Copies of this chain bind each other. A is one copy, B any other.
Amino acid sequence: MGRVTGDGTVGKALEVLDQVAAFGRPVRFGELLAQSDFPKPTLYRFVQTLTNQQMLAYDPERQTYTPGLRLVRLAHTAWDQSTLAPVARPHLDALSKAVGETVHLAQLDHAQVLYIDKRNANKPVQMYSQAGKVGPAYCTGVGKVMLAFLDEDAIESVIEQQSFHGFTEHTLDSADALRAELHDIRQNGYGFDREEHEPGIICVAMPILTSAGRVLGALSVTSTTSRTNLAGLEAYVPILRETADKITRDAQNWSFPDYQTKETTGI
């Protein structure tokens, strides 16, 4: 049978893990089987193995599987070591305080936007539920500004992977429309979300680039059409740029930090 994933057995097992996660709800073995390329016993063993390894959790009551707790543990380390979040945190705090609107930090993951951190000006933040979330690149502020500063080939490759689903009447609906928008963003150095993903929701977004111009991530300030407009958001461009610059600087300097596992203030 054709190469399903590459990367042998491990790749196949992780494919199953993704499949479970993609359901977005507890899923039964049979449901997985129905949409799996693997024969029953093979899938069965993968699910068993993953459950053993706590990468999946099994609910015997309902006979369903969900992604497991081990992932939460591992992701903590991933978030802390493989993302901009730890470097950006203080700057994000400052930005949030200054603008008083919802603020996001995102990175590009494959052809999608991966939200890494968030500050919600008002309510006690409910962050974790947001960090880790993925969104479309072609119709979010952060997505577009990150795309805009990739190199030609990378842009085309990512564009090919976009679905151009029309979330709202303002959603860019073609590769060409997106290319034009990316061109504008490169000119300006920043971009907007003009209710492209959700009606009433608008944002300004600023890329975070290395000094060599490589894309590290993006920042955005989000608001609603009832509270402000694009011109109002544009006022945040200077502070966004400053914040992005600070993050860039810290990210470069952050070569190898001191390594003692200084258990700061104990969870």
Contacts and interface: CB of A to CB of B under 8 A. Distances in A.
Contacts of A6: 52
Contacts of A50: 10
A78 B50 CA distance: 13
Given A11-B52, A24-B261, A114 B77 contact: no
Contacts of A261: 24
Interface SS of chain A: helix, strand, loop or mixed?
A: mixed
Contacts of A52: 6-7, 11
Contacts of A118: 267
A40 interface: no
Contacts of A80: 129
A248 interface: no
Q: How many copies does the complex hold?
A: 2
A104 interface: yes
Contact of A128 (B7, B55, B85, B255): B85
Nearest to A67: B78
B55 A14 contact: yes
Given A83-B69, A115-B267, A8 B49 contact: yes
Contacts of A13: 10
Nearest to A121: B124
A89 B123 CA distance: 13
Interface in A78-114: 78-83, 85-86, 89, 93, 96-97, 104, 107, 109, 114
Contacts of A259: 25
14 contacts: A7-B49, A21-B77, A66-B77, A67-B81, A69-B82, A71-B77, A72-B75, A72-B114, A79-B132, A115-B267, A117-B128, A124-B125, A133-B267, A201-B266
Interface of A: 6-11, 13-14, 17-18, 21, 24-26, 46, 49-50, 52-55, 57, 62, 66-83, 85-86, 89, 93, 96-97, 104, 107, 109, 114-119, 123-135, 197-198, 201, 255-257, 259, 261, 265-267
